[in-house]
Amino acid sequence: MVGSALKRLMAEYKQLSLNPPEGIVAGPVNEENFFEWEALILGPAETPFDGGVFKTSLLFPTDYPMSPPKMRFISDMFHPNIYPDGRVCISILHSPGDDPMGYETSAERWSPVQSIEKILLSVMSMLAEPNPESGANVDASKMWRDDREQFDKQAERLVRKSLDLPPDL
């Protein structure tokens, strides 16, 4: 199973290298371990995260693509769908099959036809349009719903931090 996972990861890396999606750079941390990747995601335009460059990690299971990778932000992130420790909570990364809580359909969850590119584009989209009803970060969800101006200021601080700029000019 490791061999087929490695072949799939190598093929996806080649595809991402030849035709990277706009605003995303991704690949293995080193070419001796294709099961651990880093990705840089550009904050989506016209969002509070606009202009930021956010570093993430992806850890792939040995049965990939039958099971999804685990993804987390290395860069500090304050977002309704990102746990305070950086873990990403998005349907596409949830194990295949029916949701035991009945919140997601099986079509929204992981399936082997998904790809690393699709994951990264979904996360970029999630940055632009959070789902505060599925809050991984309760404080961020509450601020997103109740005080958008304060949420935007917090996001802008993270953008500056992601670029190694001082908090305020």
pLDDT digits (tens, 9 = 90+) for 106-135: 778 889 999 999 999 999 999 999 988 777
Q: Which of 89, 116, 143, 155 is catalytic?
A: 89
pLDDT of residue 133: 77
Q: Which CATH superfamily is domain 4-162 in?
A: Ubiquitin Conjugating Enzyme (3.10.110.10)
Q: Per-residue DSSP letters for 59-122? A: E--TTTTSSPPEEEESS---BTTB-TTSBB--GGGSPSS--TTSSS-GGGS--TT--HHHHHHH
Q: Active site includes 89?
A: yes
For residues 2-24, give the mean pLDDT.
94
pLDDT of residue 135: 78
Q: Which residue has the higher pLDDT, 27 or 134?
A: 27
pLDDT of residue 166: 87
pLDDT of residue 98: 67
Q: Is the model's pTM score more than 0.95?
A: no
pLDDT of residue 31: 83
pLDDT digits (tens, 9 = 90+) for 135-165: 799 999 999 999 999 999 999 999 999 999 9
SS3 163: coil
Q: Name the residue among 24, 84, 26 with its Cα closest to residue 60.
A: 26
For residues 20-25, give the mean pLDDT.
95
pLDDT digits (tens, 9 = 90+) for 41-87: 999 999 999 999 999 999 999 999 999 999 999 999 999 999 999 99
Q: Is the pLDDT of residue 103 over 90?
A: no
Q: Domain boundaries in the chain?
A: 4-162
* Residue 8 main-chain phi, psi, to 5 deg: -65, -45
